[in-house]
Structure 1
Amino acid sequence: MIFRQLFEPLSSTFTYLLGCEATGQAVLIDPVVNSIDRDLAELQRLGLTLACTLDTHLHADHITGALHLKERTGCRIAAPAMERLPCVDIGVVEGVPLPVGSLAIQALHTPGHTDSHFAYLLGERVFTGDALLIDGCGRTDFQNGSAAELYRSVHGKLFALPDEQLVYPGHDYQGRQVSSIGQEKARNPRLGQGRTLAEFEQIMAGLKLPYPKFIDHALPGNRLCGVCPDDLPEQMQAYCGRMTESPQG
């Protein structure tokens, strides 16, 4: 398998490129609209054809590149079927593998950050989106989030994976790139270290996080698979423009 971890610094989002060496087919997990030129250049450099994009959930902090990538490459759009988005070509459900060439991506429904959040499992790697971050997790106070549901998702599905399973999160804000299930079980201050459900709920209730600054623009755009809103404030134009620099992780 061909694998690349790409980083978009404005929203600190990781995009993952997975390619089948036998067929040259590829998927981009959680592409970001202002980094599609980078993604297309990487696909071309590797000699890969984009078969589909795949989002873990309906993002609130950036706009997906799914629609623009489809327009430019003819790829299909895959996303959680629970969202019932008319623009989606492949509705992802748990228990039904998503084939990309010879690769078979397993979908795990991991609600809590949002009610339709999915993680994706392929070989030694699990792509956890915002459900499980390195030493953290996504917030649970909007988009039908639930601390109790997230706790059950992580402990019942992600922490049930082998300790050596590599964890590739949807974001990191401190320059880290990868963890493991064993490390998160041992070190994660919110969900690991033997935390109980009650302790986790107390931690999440006490975060008192500010209202997401981009959510009112991102959610409508992402329900259309990646349309930048016309009313985007000037200070947020970079979220939809072409990024001149986007370091790779």
Structure 2
Amino acid sequence: MLFRQLYDATSSTYTYLLADESSQQALLIDPVFEQVQRDLALLQELGLTLKLVVDTHAHADHVTAAWLLKQKTGCAIASAAVINADHVDLPLKHGQRFGVQGVELEARATPGHTDGCMSYILSDQSMVFTGDTLLIRGCGRSDFQQGNASTLYHSITEQLFSLPDTCAVFPAHDYNGRTQSTIGEEKQFNARVGGQANETDFVGYMKAMQLPHPKKIDEAVPANLRSGCPEDGKVPGEADWADLRITFAGVPEVEPEWLIQNQPSVSVLDVREPDEVIEGECPQGLHSQHIPLGQLRDRVDEVAQDKPVITLCRSGRRSAMAVSILKEHGREKVASLRGGLLKMNA
């Protein structure tokens, strides 16, 4: 199985990619609306087909990307049936098995943080995705959105602590940079529910907590009850000046074919070294401006400003850095030539 743990710094949210390397079918757990381009880029680069998006609960700190990913890929959406969210194709119930070809999960109802919290266990019980029910050395809060400390205690101790001690724990959030734990570790060391804490210990701890109201709750919860669909039901607009592809590294790129067909409407910036450029050379008939990458910061004012800019080099690596430099200087309509001249001349 192919597995990736992705992170959104704004909400401290982990998104998980699980895929079968044979069928190349993939699912995403807890995707974040603002990270759609990143997630799609990773899927494309790994040659995967997104078949399913799964939310562990209706988050209060970010908006899910489920609906938007469905619009872009045709994938199905799954979440707890009790949430009754719009646009859901697979309403999950306790004990239900689901997934994609080659990757099977079991849904377990683990309410207490919210009524609709679910944890997802890999079929061999080697991994569990706990949402906000069980965090690393902590747990989700229980003071809003149907939260109940006693219910949460029983969800953790009966549904999650019954898993093998070696089962790896992957939560929906961590605010201290921790990436994973195990059931055995949390049973022993969890600050709220570990070390043989009983229900009285746990409930007393949770009731004594005084946490600020989640900043995005008023926006996030209604949106997540629509599976992340905007109120106007429209897919957010994207850059329309070029047929852009955003890589997993965050670099906007265009294909050589697009550049050849659209060169009159864009400027081409060659950032190779002087000894790489043959005098008068115009690859594939392109008319380009030449500024070596090492000089670009000092000569950025020389770059044409009346048109979008496509940067190029031998392989597309230095031209990606050139895009970053131009963006640092406020240029928005910039992109790198994908694969550079190697791909253009292939």
Regarding TM over 0.5, the answer is: yes
Displacement of 1:213: 1.2
Counterparts of 1:126-137 in structure 2, within 5 Å, are: 126-137=128-139
Larger relative contact order (C-alpha < 8 A, sep ≥ 6)?
1
Residue type at the aligned position of 1:91: P
Offset at residue 86 of structure 1 (A): 3.0
- Note the C-alpha offset of 1:94: 1.5
For the 8 Å contact 2:7–2:15, the answer to whether it is kept is yes
In the alignment, is the contact (CA less than 8 A) between 1:63 and 1:228 conserved in 2? no
Which protein is bigger by CA-based radius of gyration? 2
Q: Does structure 2 conserve the Cα–Cα contact (< 8 Å) formed by 1:96 and 1:106? A: yes
Q: Which residue of 221, 224, 239 corresponds with 1:222?
A: 224
Give the paired residue count: 234
* 1:29-58 C-alpha deviation (Å, 9 max, x unpaired): 000000011101111111110001000000
Q: Distance in 2 between matches of 1:25 and 1:76?
A: 12
Q: Is the 8 A contact 2:150 2:199 kept in 1?
A: yes
Instruction: Pick from 150, 175, 178 the counterpart of residue 176 of structure 1.
Output: 178
Identity of aligned residues (%): 49
Quickly say closer, same or farther: Cα 1:202–1:75, change in 2 above 3 A. Answer: same
Matches within 5 A, 1:54-93: 54-93=54-93
1:234 corresponding residue in structure 2: none
Q: Partner residue of 1:189?
A: 191
- Match status 1:28 vs 2:31: no
Shift of 1:228: 4.4
Which of the numbers 192, 203, 206 marks the counterpart of 1:204? 206
1:125 is aligned to 2:127: yes
Q: Give 5+ residue unaligned stretches, structure 1.
A: 231-241
Looking at structure 2, the residues matched to 209 and 75 of structure 1 have their Cα atoms a distance apart, in angstroms, of 36
Q: Map 1:137-148; keep pairs closer than 5 Å.
A: 137-148=139-150
Find the counterpart in structure 2 of residue 5 from structure 1: 5
Tell me, yes or no, if the aligned pair for 1:113 and 1:139 is still in contact at 8 Å.
yes
What is the root-mean-square deviation of aligned Cα atoms in Å? 1.6
Report the counterpart of residue 153 of structure 1 in structure 2: 155
In structure 2, relative to structure 1, the CA distance for the partners of 1:5 and 1:115 (3 Å cut) is same
SS at match of 1:111: coil
**Alpha-carbon distance in 1 for matches of 2:58, 2:127:** 22
Tell me how far apart the structure 1 counterparts of residues 220 and 94 of structure 2 sit (CA, whole Å).
25
Task: Tell me the distance in 2 between the aligned counterparts of 1:99 and 1:56.
Answer: 14
User: How far does residue 166 in structure 1 lie from its aligned partner after superposition?
Assistant: 0.3
> Aligned partners of 1:86, 1:179: CA distance in 2, in Å?
33
Q: Which amino acid aligns with 2:213?
A: Y
Q: Aligned with 1:88: secondary structure? A: coil
- How far off is 1:105 after superposition? 0.8
The letter of the residue matching 1:164 is T
Q: Deviations over 1:150-207 (max 9, x none)?
A: 1000000100111100000110011110100000011001010111101111111111
**Paired residues of 1:28 and 1:54 also in contact (CA < 8 A):** yes
Q: 1:87 offset after TM fit, Å? A: 1.0
SS class of match (2:26): strand
Q: Is the 8 A contact 1:217 1:229 kept in 2?
A: no
Residues 63 and 227 in structure 1, CA contact (< 8 A), matched pair in contact too: no
1:31-50 aligned at under 5 Å gives the runs 31-50=31-50
1:184-236 CA distance string (max 9 Å, x none): 01100101011110111111111111111110000111111113468xxxxxx
2:14 partner SS: strand
Q: CA deviation at 1:245?
A: 8.5
Partner Cα distance (1:138, 1:95) in 2: 22
- TM-score, structure 2 normalization: 0.66
User: Residue 235 of structure 1 aligns with which residue?
Assistant: none
2:116 corresponds to which letter in structure 1? S
Structure 1 counterpart of 2:103, one-letter code: L
Contact 1:108 1:118 in 2 (8 A): yes
